[in-house]
Structure 1
Amino acid sequence: MQSSLDREPELGRNELDVETLVKRGGQPGAMSYRNSIHILTATLLVVGLGSSARLTLPMFALSCVLLFVWGFFYFYGSTKRVDFSHGMQLAWLFVLTLVWIVMVPIVPVSIYLLFPLFFLYLQVMPDVRGIIAVVGATSIAIASQYSVGLTFGGVMGPLVSAIVTVAIDYAFRTLWRVNNEKQELIDQLIETRSQLAVTERNAGIAAERQRIAHEIHDTVAQGLSSIQMLLHVSEQEILAVDMEEKPKEAIVKKMRLARQTASDNLSEARAMIAALQPAALSKTSLEAALHRVTEPLLGINFVISVDGDIRQLPMKTEATLLRIAQGAIGNVAKHSEAKNCHVTLTYEDTEVRLDVVDDGVGFEPSEISNRPAGLGHIGLSALHQRAVELHGEVIVESAYGQGTAVSAALPVDPPVEFKSGPDGLLSPTEVEEG
């Protein structure tokens, strides 16, 4: 048998029948709705039996059999139909209708069983078929009175019953649909809150890793660089002193050993700093990191170009540029509806600049510049804040229908020429760069 879950696409996302809703226990009023119909049906069956007592014995017996058969099919099917396939439900409903049609001329009160039939039509066929079935049953009920003479009440009774039933069913379905939409919204909010919590946690971890990397760079690495530089200068001064060669060589050998030890430790410190950098920068250059950021984004043609002489930038500068690029590119992917986006990284003597330009729908920067980051967009204020921390700036230019251009500029020290000494160790010029 086909389960109710398998049948759900046939009924529509918000058109689940009452029995399914009751079984899941998730819709307000579904249980009361079902029980009310069952109570009404049982009452009508009892009234039908009472009214049949006035008939002759054979007709009374026939009426009892028909009422019993109809009631059995109704209650048994109502209990089991949630496990029926849609085709079996239609067959069950057809049998109920057929027994009712046979019963109407014999038990006139049974015409009021239209009420539960109307509800069943609308539950099993929550579309235009249900309305057609209601209209058809109403017509049969009215036509069945033709032989004894149609009256105003005889016509209006079934007609009003049909209208009231359709209105009640529509009201409940609207209530359930609104409830489903609210529940979906609540689920989305809970999911978004969980995602934000994870994002904030990851951002906190990344910030702490960068802080530690900066501390290592500004203390241990710089200290080792200074030691190398001082040892190099001292070595040159000793070599220039007029003294015996043997003692001089011993001193210089020890100083070179100290410089080599400092150089090895500096390499290890730099490896630690690299391991603490953002994942995209840990094993690649900034340009390659930008390629990795854009690779997963489909539907937009990203072009990444580099101008100027590429050189190694301070770790914090590269990390900040990458974060700004991720924010700007994320906005392009989520909001711009662009087909093309050009990302340009420009190296100049005293600054490095990142430009992200798209051909999307554009916007008015003043309208959203003050929005907080995290709820569906990367706030422009967050991009500005990252740049300001390194004494840089972010400029956003956009207009509706004219695309968007985000330009970030960060100051950097002029490039330093690297030199190696005759002994292969770092010269003062390279040490200062380290």
Structure 2
Amino acid sequence: MRNELDVENLAKRGGQPGAMSYRNSIHIMTATLLVVGLGASARLSLPLFALACVLLLAWGFLYFWGSSKRVDISHPMQLAWLFLLTLVWIIMVPIVPISIYMLFPLFFLYLQVMPDVRGIIAVIGATSIAIASQYPNGLTVGGVMGPAVSAIVSIAIDYAFRTLWRVNNEKQELIDQLIETRSQLAETERNAGIAAERQRIAHEIHDTVAQGLSSIQMLLHVAEQEILAKDEVENPHAAALDKIRLARNTASDNLSEARAMIAALQPAALSQTSLEDALHRVTQPLLGIHFVINVDGDVRQLPMKTEATLLRIAQGAIANVAKHSEAKNCHVTLTYEENEVRLDVVDDGVGFDPEQVRAQPAGLGHIGLSALHQRARELNGEVVVESAYGQGTAVSVALPVDAN
């Protein structure tokens, strides 16, 4: 009922399509009925005419005052106002028979104030009173059909407008969600673009400037050692040696600056630690799971992009373990081989059915696995996921690396 009341409040304030016309039409119809009722009362005797005027004016005042204040007062107060309107109408019908047509605005008020089964019951009750009020003068087919058809038409009109408003609300919610999703996608794409560009720049610096400076430093160091070896007794090349040392020191300083730039651009976990240390840092904040990290093979410096991709995949797999597996233990193994590096994340959790997950449309809860596969494919790698209910999960990723 709360949602229906919210719809009605929005409609009353003109926040729904056709709400203003709907409200004004009822007001115009009510004002017209009041004027007709006053005109029809002129044929009554003076005392009855005076009483009819008082009742009609009182009913009209209650109607228009309550209609202007209805949204701002509590629901019990609205029910009390509606009861008072109905009571005045019941007293007025025997005195001013034409006031039976005041049923129309009453019907709409019942359905608006009580947008549930209570409103329908109130409409049926008022219809019954209108029909019963004609009994002393004799019931006719028109006398019965008039109020009954009026009730059906009022319910149909109210239902049509309420459906229109509900559909409009649903469309507006959908539009708001689409706008929010578009903003989130734009922000995600922007962040992804920034991250990709930072990664590209860091990779370029690492493969060009840093490597070149490192080579210059080593060559100058070798040249310095050769000159020193040939001049053990005398050192006629002191000036040349000074220049070589200066060049080597400059190359060393620039190499340090280049590495600092690379560290600032690569993932934070790798900025000051090795890949193994970064894995320890990823698992350290996760409580309730015992993580064991092993490194096999000859540990060596990998290309920055490979290390960053391995770390991101490890973060995704470990996050899945923490969120979904209910595991007690998890083993993370980093294996360095001649032509590839492999990362294995194995847990003893509840497991799942990989085939069932792959059969689901993208975006239904397994986007994490899709991200792992996507990251591996970017470096011509492969991700294998093995799991079964009650038997834990094993995620293995292999990335090719240059043996040199």
1:346 to 334, 339, 345: 334
Which of 187, 191, 200 is residue 176 of structure 2 equivalent to? 187
Deviation at 1:398, TM superposition (A): 6.8
Partner residue in 2 for 1:12: 2
SS at match of 1:306: strand
- Give the partner amino acid of 1:159: A
Q: Report what 2:295 is aligned to.
A: 308
Distance 1:194 1:114 in 2: 50
Question: How far off its partner does 1:223 sit?
Answer: 0.9
Q: Distance in 1 between matches of 2:76 and 2:259?
A: 71
Where do 1:64-143 residues align within 5 Å?
Answer: 64-143=53-132
Residue 109 of structure 1, CA deviation: 1.6
CA distance in 1, matches of 2:291, 2:68: 64
Listed one character per residue, the Cα deviations across residues 358-415 of structure 1 (whole Å, up to 9, x for unaligned) are 734655466468x6xx89874867644532443322335578999875432113456x
For the structure 1 residues 237 and 82, does the alpha-carbon distance in structure 2 shift closer, same or farther, using more than 3 Å as the test?
same
Gaps of 5+ in 2: none
The question of whether the paired residues in 2 share the 8 Å contact of 1:221 and 1:269 is answered with: yes
1:419: which partner in 2? none
Counterpart of 1:203? Answer: 192
Distance verdict in 2 for CA 1:388–1:360, change over 3 Å: closer
- Structure 2 partner of 1:317: 306
1:218 and 2:207 matched: yes
Residue of 224, 239, 257 corresponding to 1:268: 257
Asked if 2 retains the 8 angstrom alpha-carbon contact of 1:363 and 1:404, the reply is no
Indicate if the aligned counterparts of 2:94 and 2:133 stay in contact, CA closer than 8 A.
Answer: yes
Structure 1 pair 237–286 and aligned structure 2 pair: CA distance change class (3 A):
closer
Aligned with residue 233 of structure 2, among 244, 254, 260: 244
Deviations 1:234-266 (A, max 9, x none): 234334436524447776666455434433322
SS of match in other structure, 2:95: coil
Other-structure match for 2:151? 162
Flag the 1:272–1:26 CA change in 2: closer, same or farther, 3 A. same
Contact 2:333 2:345 in 1 (8 A): no
> Is the CA contact 2:55–2:88 (under 8 Å) kept in the aligned structure 1?
yes
Deviation at residue 268 of structure 1 after TM alignment: 1.9
| SS of equivalent to 1:308 | strand
TM-score normalised by length of structure 1: 0.77
**Partner amino acid, structure 2, of 1:306:** I
Separation of aligned partners in 1, 2:54 and 2:174: 51
Which structure 1 segments of 5+ residues have no match? 1-10, 415-431
SS in 2 for 1:55: coil
Contact 2:317 2:395 in 1 (8 A): yes
**Distance in 2 between the 1:226 and 1:287 partners?**
27
Cα gap change, 1:218 to 1:31, in 2 (>3 Å): same
How far the C-alpha of 1:301 sits from its partner, in A, is 7.0
Inter-partner Cα distance in structure 2 for 1:355 and 1:275: 28
Cα deviation for residue 197 of structure 1 reads 0.7
Which letter does structure 1 place at the counterpart of 2:335?
Answer: Y
Aligned to 2:11: 21
Question: In the alignment, what sits opposite 1:42?
Answer: 31
Paired residues of 2:335 and 2:343 also in contact (CA < 8 A): no
Matched residue count: 397
1:410–1:163 CA distance, 2 compared to 1 (3 A): same
CA pair 377-189 structure 1, distance change in 2 beyond 3 A: farther
Residues 345 and 352 of structure 1 are in contact (CA less than 8 Å); yes or no, is this contact kept in structure 2?
no
Q: Secondary structure at the match of 2:173?
A: helix
